[in-house]
Amino acid sequence: MAELPHPLAAFLVAEIRRARGAAGMTQEAFGRAAGFSASHVSAVESGTRGLTLDFIRGADRALNNGGLFERMVEQLGVPSWFLPWLDAERTATQLRCFQPCLVPGLLQTEDYARAVIRCDETLSDQDVEQRLASRIERQVILTRDRAPQFIAVIAEAVLRRAGDDFRDVMAGQIKHLITQAERTNISAHILPDEISMHVGLTGPFSLARSPDHRWVGEMENQLGGVVVDTDADVDTLLSRWETVRNEALPRRQSIELMKEVVNSWT
């Protein structure tokens, strides 16, 4: 399962350790009740092993607290449904993303990402900055050693969604997208507006291929999202990926279109 991002993980580990101590439980007793070895508990508490949703749920069981720590994860800005995708994304050898509405999160600039996150009026400034930091932190997977191959298909309308009050942000975003698309492990393909009807109109989705060659899919919606890994669901998303990818422009033509859009504003 996915490791939670720091500093959220550090906070939760400290709270779990404090609760374990208050309950008078040794690491061995706690681990037995949570479904983990004492050495695993020790590694999580010392920070040498990542905190996962499985461990959090185990802690809730061991402490019989009614799911307190899992609810804390939700309240602190990391929805539990998203954790399996974070794990798949972090370990992927290949990533595929189709976006008809936004620049993919892994390719967003800070200014663009902040503007997108601020669209949720229920979030405080602190919530926005916390989610922004987590999103930018995820992007390091594209520049690490043995980075995954990342291919994105983005609707042309995404590039042109720039009113007067947003044009500078969008120009910076497209320039960043061009720079990223010129990296050897990243491709960005634009789906032209002239392709008016296609299977991708039903919504955005992403795919991650693991080191053992299994695919995991992720789809977001207004109420959250869903991560799928069954053969039938993954096969459907892979088929739809091939369809939208085949309709998109080649890599070099896509970069030229992005440059054309930015130049048209100057």
Q: What is the pLDDT of residues 56-68, one digit of tens each?
A: 899 999 999 998 8
Average pLDDT, rounded, for the chain: 88
- Angle, CA 188 vertex, CA 261 and CA 134 arms, to 5°: 100
Interval 247-264: pLDDT, tens: 999 999 999 999 999 998
Which helix H or strand E contains 202, and what residues bound it?
none
Confidence tier at 38 by pLDDT (50, 70, 90): very high
Confidence tier at 75 by pLDDT (50, 70, 90): low
Does domain 80-263 fall under CATH 3.30.870? My reply is yes
What token pair was written down for 177?
Answer: 């997208």
Q: Which residues contact 81 (CB under 8 A, 6 or more apart)?
A: 224, 225, 226, 227
**Residue range 8-75, CATH number:** 1.10.260.40
DSSP class of residue 141 equals G
Q: Where are the domains of the chain?
A: 8-75, 80-263
pLDDT value at residue 265: 84
CB 215 within 8 A of CB 156: no
N-to-C CA span, the chain: 47
pLDDT value at residue 3: 47
